[in-house]
Amino acid sequence: MKHALILLVLSSVASAASDPFLPASTLRYEPTPLELMDDCRGAKKRAESALAAVARMPQAVRTFDNTPWELDRIGSELSDRTASDVFLKYVSLSSSTRDAGNECETLLGKFYVDMYSREDLYRALKEYAAKGEPLSAESKRLVDKELLDFKRSGLDLRQDKREAVLALRKKLVELEAAFGRNINEYKDFALFDKAELDGLPEDFIARLETAEGKYKVSLDYPDYFPFMDNALNPAARRVLEGKFNNRAARQNLPILKEVLALRQKAARTLGYPSHAHFILEDRMAKSPKTVSDFMARLRKKLRVLGSEELRVLRSLKFVFEGGSSDAEIRAWDWRFYDNQLKRVKYAVDSQKIKEYFPADHVTEQMLGVYQKLLGLKFRLIENAATWHPDVKLYEIADASGGGPIAYFYLDLFPREGKYKHAAAFPLISGRLLPDGSYQKPVAAMVANFNKPAKNRPSLLTHDEVKTFFHEFGHIMHQTVTTARYGRFSGSSTARDFVEAPSQMLENWVWDREVLQSLSGHYLDHSKKLPNELLGKMLAAKNADSGLVHLRQLLFGSVDQLYHGWPPSNTTAAYARLAKEVSMIPMSDGVHPEASFGHLMGYDAGYYGYLWSKVYAEDMFSRFKAEGVLNPVLGRRYRTEILERGSSRDEMESLKAFLGREPDEAAFLESIGLKAGKKG
């Protein structure tokens, strides 16, 4: 999922006059770069003025509403007012607008650094807290979290150290934004002749551009993954993998080195042993040791699976390459032989299967699943103004009736300059407004599924269907929130829990009944995925699950190492861990860390994908026992997990839904392992 930054919606949505239920038209999706920055600076200036008013207020008149809640409102209002300004960095067709969006994001990042570095605001908050007024649990949680924010910004340090931390944080905002922008804007491709495309589907080849008499294969997901899965020529795969894992290397390697050093320096100035200690203090895991123990325990179990899986893949490689095989699964081999294993052992033909998952039909049916499960009703808003013709806007209402409670956008297909991955962006945050009304949340799902072709619609692989369910799970988390304060709204939870709700919902694409409803041949939607194909897919669910999860452990291990004791050579450290953890060596001459975007938004937190998956599978165990489309249980899940956001401790929400303490058993079982100790 994309980091819960201040990334917000982008359009004036549709004309409010044509639909009285649409949000107020305060946002624009086609500003000039100059207009965008004027708007961004103006919103920042108004927020600074509001903060000054809080700071100069006499102690005697301080209340919860005019101090801690006002601080939350100021930050939330700034985010809402700069929604389009920031989000257009990720989706605009104009490179100059994307640059302006990046500039705005950097400006706002510095504003938040400044906000929580202000001694007068910290004093104001402490003055209020000292009154000891009785508060609800959620309101007390807001005060405690805000006090911790100021403390973690160095406000308990002497002046010179505070100023040092402030300068470091501001510099980091610039560098982190540049790192992400360099990945987003990076363009490269490889040229192959027809023979080098052997094994690739005809529809894939037909949509490729040509240059210099050869076929042009980009590094974007809709090109890269099908190529690596299907290209029979190992030399061709090696070329593309080399380019893919060198994205933005020239620009980002020096940035990464500086970022790691500055983060470490800031953490130590604040009194933490490392940046990892600083980050994990307010996560569920609490400490690097807890994370290390969790990953070590899981790695030990996964290596048993992974070793056997590698043995099988090496045998398969020998079948394909014969005497020329080096008996080693390389970085450019793994996806290909994983795909071949599914074809050979399980007779799973991903190209045949995707004929049954046209994107339009999957979208319609997926929305139906979510509506039934969570007690919601979605309505497509026709002719809504958006940032691109491909984008669709929907409103969300409760199935029991009433007006809309939230909105979401779907932006599913790739285009030049667009964010390269799949992500759900929390746009306008749901929160209680001063007049007692509740602000309707808005979110956007951004993906890069293959575009419809002239004679064929967009067809999704089963993995892409799973991605769709995952990201839309984030959308639900972000939009059905009932949290009182913006700070706790939607997916603004502890980072090592934020993936759990969306990961849980991936399980629906492995259910026989749901898969049948999602499927429908692109030539005739009434023709469902044949039982034979469906059975083979389900049988192959855990094929290479050891290697898949060891790969996730690799990313988590790299992240923890970089932020525990930054290595002098990040590439050499990555290569060492690749061999030790994933058991698949890193290719020579590549620098995968340069395009590891999560190092900026998930710094010292990538372990959270596996950590939260433990809780995801535990939550799903209830649906598995009581019915995956059980609307009563789905409504309970909506109430106890999705609506709560971070308005209470995440562990409390888990216990409330599960009715017991969480454990690892369901997760281990889901990937073919025996249960172990709690994580």
What percent of the chain lies above the pLDDT cut of 90?
84
pLDDT digits (tens, 9 = 90+) for 587-645: 999 999 999 999 998 899 999 999 999 999 999 999 999 999 999 999 999 999 999 99
Q: Which of 179, 177, 176, 209 is nearest to 192 (CA)?
A: 209
Mean pLDDT of the chain: 92
CATH 1.10.1370.40 fits 359-542+609-670, yes or no: yes
Look up residue 665 and give its two tokens: 């058993």
Spatial separation of the C-alpha atoms in residues 517 and 362, rounded to whole Å: 9
Residue 191's φ and ψ, nearest 5 degrees, are -105, 130
Mean pLDDT on 19-26: 47
| Interior angle at CA 16, CA 50 and CA 20, nearest 5 | 105
pLDDT class of 23 with cuts at 50, 70, 90: very low
Q: Which of 92, 116, 104, 130 is nearest to 44 (CA)?
A: 104
Ordered by start, the domain boundaries in the chain are 33-154, 187-244, 359-542+609-670
Please report the pLDDT score of residue 27 as a whole number. Answer: 60
Judge whether 33-154 and 359-542+609-670 match in fold: no
Residue 387's φ and ψ, nearest 5 degrees, are -85, -5
pLDDT class of 539 with cuts at 50, 70, 90: confident
Using the CB atoms, write b or e for 229-251: b if 16+ within 10 Å. bbbebbebbbbbbbbbbbbbbeb
Please report the pLDDT score of residue 1 as a whole number. Answer: 41
Poorest-confidence range of 269-278, 414-423, 501-510, 632-641?
414-423
Q: Which of 332, 629, 592 is nearest to 508 (CA)?
A: 629
Mean pLDDT on 192-210: 94
> With contact defined as beta carbons under 8 Å apart, do 26 and 109 qualify?
no
Q: Which of 18, 10, 145, 101 is nearest to 425 (CA)?
A: 10
Considering the candidates 471, 506, 593, 664, report the single residue annotated as catalytic: 471
CATH superfamily of 33-154: Endopeptidase. Chain P; domain 1 (1.20.1050.40)
Spatial separation of the C-alpha atoms in residues 355 and 519, rounded to whole Å: 9
Using the CB atoms, write b or e for 641-672: b if 16+ within 10 Å. bbbbbbbbbbeebbeebbeeebbbbbbbebbe
Kindly provide the residue ranges of all beta strands, DSSP E only, lying in 200-327, ordered along the sequence: 209-211, 214-218
Concerning whether 308 is annotated as a catalytic residue, the answer is no
Please report the pLDDT score of residue 675 as a whole number. Answer: 58
In the three-class reduction of DSSP (H, G, I as helix; E, B as strand; rest coil), residue 224 is classed as helix
Put residue 620 in one of left, alpha, beta given phi > 0 → left and psi -120 to 50 → alpha: alpha
Mean pLDDT on 93-99: 95
Look up residue 508 and give its two tokens: 């629906």
Spatial separation of the C-alpha atoms in residues 575 and 70, rounded to whole Å: 48
Please report the pLDDT score of residue 13 as a whole number. Answer: 34
> With contact defined as beta carbons under 8 Å apart, do 594 and 256 qualify?
yes
pLDDT digits (tens, 9 = 90+) for 146-175: 999 999 999 999 999 999 999 999 999 999
DSSP of 587-633: PTT--GGGG-THHHHSTTTTTHHHHHHHHHHHHHHHHHHH-TT-HHH
Please report the pLDDT score of residue 326 as a whole number. Answer: 86
Mean pLDDT on 424-444: 94
DSSP of 316-382: HHHHHHGGG--S---TTTHHHHHHHHHHHTS---HHHHHTT-BHHHHHHHHHHHHHHHHTEEEEE-T
Task: Give yes or no for residue 649 having a pLDDT over 90.
Answer: yes
Show the DSSP H helices in 427-508 as ranges.
462-479, 500-506
> With contact defined as beta carbons under 8 Å apart, do 395 and 402 qualify?
no
pLDDT class of 351 with cuts at 50, 70, 90: confident
Look up residue 518 and give its two tokens: 């999602």
